[in-house]
Structure 1
Amino acid sequence: MSALPTAERGSATWRLVKAESTLCVRDKVAPLWGIGFPLVLLIVLGSVPDLREPVEGSGGLTYFDLYVPVLVLFNLAILATASLPTTLAGYRENGVLRRMRTTPVGPARVLAAQLVANFAIAVVAMVLFLAVAGFGFGVDLPQHLPGFALAWLLAAGALLAIGLLITALAPGRGPATAIGTVLFFPMMFFAGLWVPISQMPPLLRDIAHYTPLGAGMGAFQDAYLGHFPSAVPLLTLAAYAVVCAFAAVRWFRWE
């Protein structure tokens, strides 16, 4: 079969992106758990007066100030451990990727379309969380917006690469869900969902700095305090993105 002309390939890719985005919304995992649940949690936490008290060692940030970036990371973690891997592993399990290998579109574009769809949902969620926290509860935007944007992009890249790695290792939806669940709760713990990182014991605090969400939280905190994120969390996130993406490509199975 001859290759598609460049314009047709671009058009097919765009149609595939739109189709995968529609399916991603219909599947409800990404919008409900990635946006809806953390948004409700944000509103509930913002209504608790005790969470407006400053946290020791956080540069004057309150508990609620800290929960806003945690919930931004929560969204990325849901997409990486639930939405992306279960969808793509389901495609493999049902033979979708195998059948697409015989078409000019090819399965690689399915991966790209899924990444774009999940990335778009993550952008919407991040903007929505910051807007609700700011307009609804008076939480200031990060004082260093370019630093925050860079940290978010690296965090999104690291988490989505982890999602692709889960997809590469899981033969179907069931194993993908199991692997994602096992990873989700420790990652959220080290992001400070239950205990702020600054209040963790020294050993756990040191471990948190080198986990994907702990590094993301550290970079976010720097940006909120008006500083460009330090090199360690940014390099940690970049390392996760590169290593996990390389491993996912190396071990990915189409069928």
Structure 2
Amino acid sequence: MTATLSATGPARRPATAVLRTEIRLFLREPGALFWVMVFPTVLLTVLGLIPSFREDQEDLGGRGVIDLYVPVAVLLAMIMAGLQAMPPVLTVYRERGILRRMSTTPVRPSALLTAQIVLHGAASLCSAALVLAVGRVAFGVRLPGQIPGYTLSLVLAVACVLALGATVCALSRTSKVATAVGSVAYLVMMFTAGVWVPVQTMPGLLRRIVECTPLGAASQALDQAARGDWPGWTHLAVVALWTAVLGAASTRLFRWE
């Protein structure tokens, strides 16, 4: 009876079994762990060590530049997970026929896609928590004043970037193409997230254009919630709209073989 239960148990919980396997594989990749979980905090630390970045400035509302880079570092973790880590993995699975073989077993290919999204989403949120903790402890950055608004903005941003990553997978026939397309999207998203120039300090026209992009709007929403204000509904709507469009596109275009 015990043997029967153990044999049928995984079949009853295929998604859970796949998720556990993907977690083990992810933990064996030190490169992915570093870029998603550690690099955003390292970047924040390097910027925080610049004395002028820690000084409060009147034109920034009495905050320092380091305060503006906390949401940027949070978004950077999502970009790493959604555009650099996830697409090559799924594309390799499809190239090697793993998804096709899974379609003949009780474990559906969609379980693997779901596991990747859950895994990289969780990694992004853990990285965000680490960024907030280091920013607070090491540089005195205030914790978000509007916790519900910050959480909502964070979840929407994660969903949006992962939907973008799934779209890259859907459009890429090989892992090399996925890496190339993901790298281009990665550089664009880094700019719109404010990695090189915080969105709040961009010139007027450029700032309005960037705020129409998913991570530009997410950066603004996170910054507003960090200041204690409810995120602008326009910014939340932009992120939600991009998430819906990209999610629909990835679902329609994705091929298992």
- TM-score where L is the length of structure 2: 0.93
Match among 94, 103, 107 for residue 105 of structure 1: 107
Check 1:7–1:146 CA distance in 2 against 1; reply closer, same or farther (3 A cut). farther
Range moving further from structure 2, 230-239 or 8-17: 8-17
Check 1:50–1:10 CA distance in 2 against 1; reply closer, same or farther (3 A cut). farther
Matched, 1:77 2:79: yes
Matched, 1:26 2:28: yes
1:60-209 aligned within 5 A: 60-209=62-211
Question: Structure 1 CA distance, aligned partners of 2:98 and 2:108?
Answer: 10
Quote the residue 2:4 is aligned against. none
Range moving further from structure 2, 197-206 or 97-106: 197-206
Check 1:55–1:158 CA distance in 2 against 1; reply closer, same or farther (3 A cut). farther
Question: Structure 2 CA distance, aligned partners of 1:57 and 1:159?
Answer: 31
Contact 1:29 1:83 in 2 (8 A): no
Question: Structure 2 CA distance, aligned partners of 1:92 and 1:41?
Answer: 34
Question: Structure 1 CA distance, aligned partners of 2:16 and 2:114?
Answer: 10
Shift of 1:60: 2.4
Contact 1:29 1:82 in 2 (8 A): no
Q: What runs of 5+ residues in structure 2 fail to find an aligned partner?
A: 1-7
Helix, strand or coil: the match of 2:107? Answer: coil
Q: What runs of 5+ residues in structure 1 fail to find an aligned partner?
A: 1-5
Percent sequence identity over matched residues?
A: 42
| RMSD (Å) for aligned C-alpha atoms | 1.6
Shift of 1:223: 0.3
Matched, 1:243 2:251: no
Q: CA deviation digits over 1:25-60, x for unaligned, max 9?
A: 223343111122222112111111011134565432
Shift of 1:164: 0.4
Question: Structure 2 CA distance, aligned partners of 1:138 and 1:186?
Answer: 30
Check 1:205–1:166 CA distance in 2 against 1; reply closer, same or farther (3 A cut). same
Check 1:56–1:186 CA distance in 2 against 1; reply closer, same or farther (3 A cut). farther
Check 1:241–1:150 CA distance in 2 against 1; reply closer, same or farther (3 A cut). same
Question: Structure 1 CA distance, aligned partners of 2:190 and 2:115?
Answer: 26
Contact 1:158 1:244 in 2 (8 A): yes
Contact 2:56 2:62 in 1 (8 A): yes
Aligned pair count reads: 250
